[in-house]
Amino acid sequence: MKNYLNYVLITLALLTTLGCTDDLNTKPIVELSLEELLEQDPRAIEGVLSRLYGSFALSGPDGPGSSDIPDDPGESPFLRGIINLQDFTADAMKNRWGDNGLDQLTTTSDWTSDNKFFRYLYNRIYYTIPQANNLINVLSAVDVENEEVVSSEIRFIRALAYYYLIDSFGKGALVTEADFGVTTPLPEASRQELFNYVESELLAIEPLLPSSNSYGRANKAAAQMLLSKLYLNAEVYTNSPRYDDAATYVNRIINGGEFSLADDFRLNFSSDNDDSPEIIFPLIADASISQSFGNTTYIVNGSLSTETMNPNDFGATQGWTGHRSSKAWYGLFCGGINNSDELRNCNDVRSQLFWIGEGIDPITNLPVDLHNFEMADYRSWEDGYPSIKFRNSNLNANTSPTDFSSTDFPLFRLADAYLMYAELAWRGAAGTDLNTASQYVNLVRERSNASTITASDIDEQFILDERARELNLEGHRRTDLIRFNKFTGGSYIWPWKGGTASGTSISTNYRLFPIPTNAIQANPNLTQNPGY
């Protein structure tokens, strides 16, 4: 149950002061003695820790209009940044708003270091890291229950923030608890140095984290999942493949037995998804106590519109008329979809989670689709199909629509581990084989009523397509495309790649985002990524 992370009830100054790019290389300013607080009430660590977890989903401590960082509270939350930079920059999802830089993301073109959406994620990363450092220092001076586990959770949160720095920007200042009190700008750490640090942290805490933890808190499998992803992408990050190591931790997740696939795929994306046995690590949303414009509210409301839909049908009170998927996603089902009739007739449950809509042509009086299969104009709401994968309604009970979402975001889930195993088997990683891989893939596909495969079906294109069918809009797509050398260049073209409707090749510098201008101004030791 969602009984742990009551984010908005915690307003400690530890997590309301700024630790972003204008002070990212020094200690965060602390207005309240946490040592005194925890000495008086050691149980307060639960609330402090919950607020640190909340830094990935919320904008600030005082509701959706507050912000921990000097950025727009609606646009800048961490999860919103993950979706914007992972999914809208890739093939499957497009946004039509185009406001002040969003066009550049959704068309994968004209990226500059002044784009506010790059700044938002960078600032969120360097808000979370100093707060974690500060809390680790505080814990060393007080006694709290299960201190070793709590400290490991904080280190996991910090490692997760650094992972997004490695993946998105490739370099930055390496700030740890040892830098508390440092006032001079820290040196730039390379991607390899950041990788080594995150790896060492995760290896250290993985044995210390419990196999089972309170809902919304990091467990052993969460650390294993992050290690697996770090190793899976190691060739991109460090030019040295680590597929055998990735397989070691994927196998630990699968063989640990703590998680199983939800019987119904849709449960993972409904507001009662805290009942799913599949979700390894969620970012929690609650319409009453953790309201945010940047958690799954952004995904749910942004994918709805009163123009062609009824938001109430999906547990929402409003639609923001923003996000639609393209044929690069819905065209992947049932051997290849070429029109709306084929999509409607596909048996794969996942293929039915797109909104085509149906109206009556006023001239012919015949049924007509409300959305177009082709995305001729990404600014047109009717071009492309809205994804209704995420919804703010329960799968197994009636719910009333709310302004904000109560659907948790499944950052890590078991189906992803199964598909990572399949990729690792295809890559020849030790401890994997293609026959077992096909069994895992079929568990995922049979759950959605998709046809089964054999070991011989597992190749590069199948893996990339199956990950799209299963995981799109979950914050993985850009990283997947880069790992398969499909993001930049012209070997794979998708609608609006490079700013043209039919798509075009883009340069290799787009494998990294530019370091935001304000970060370089704050720390002269930072250098810009090539090509920007």
CA distance linking residue 17 with residue 31, whole number of Å:
8
pLDDT 10s digits, 61-72 = 889 999 999 999
What is the CATH number that goes with domain 1-70+81-206+512-532? 1.25.40.390
pLDDT 10s digits, 136-172 = 988 887 787 888 999 999 999 999 999 999 999 999 9
CA distance linking residue 132 with residue 299, whole number of Å:
27
CA distance linking residue 141 with residue 216, whole number of Å:
26
CA distance linking residue 215 with residue 229, whole number of Å:
22
Cβ–Cβ < 8 Å for 271, 394: yes
Q: Would you state the pLDDT for residue 33?
A: 62
For residue 89, the Cα-to-chain-centroid distance in whole angstroms is 13
pLDDT above 70 covers a percentage of the chain that reads 92
pLDDT 10s digits, 227-250 = 999 999 999 999 999 999 999 999
pLDDT 10s digits, 118-144 = 999 999 999 999 999 999 988 887 787
Domain ranges across the chain = 1-70+81-206+512-532
Cα 141 to Cα 12, 37, 131, 204, 500, distances in angstroms: 18, 12, 16, 21, 57
Which stretch of DSSP H or E encloses residue 409? Answer: strand 409-413
Q: Where are the beta strands (DSSP E) in 331-393?
A: 358-360, 367-369
Give the chain's end-to-end CA distance (angstroms, integer): 46
Which stretch of DSSP H or E encloses residue 167? Answer: helix 147-168
Tally the residues of the chain.
Answer: 532
Cβ–Cβ < 8 Å for 290, 6: yes
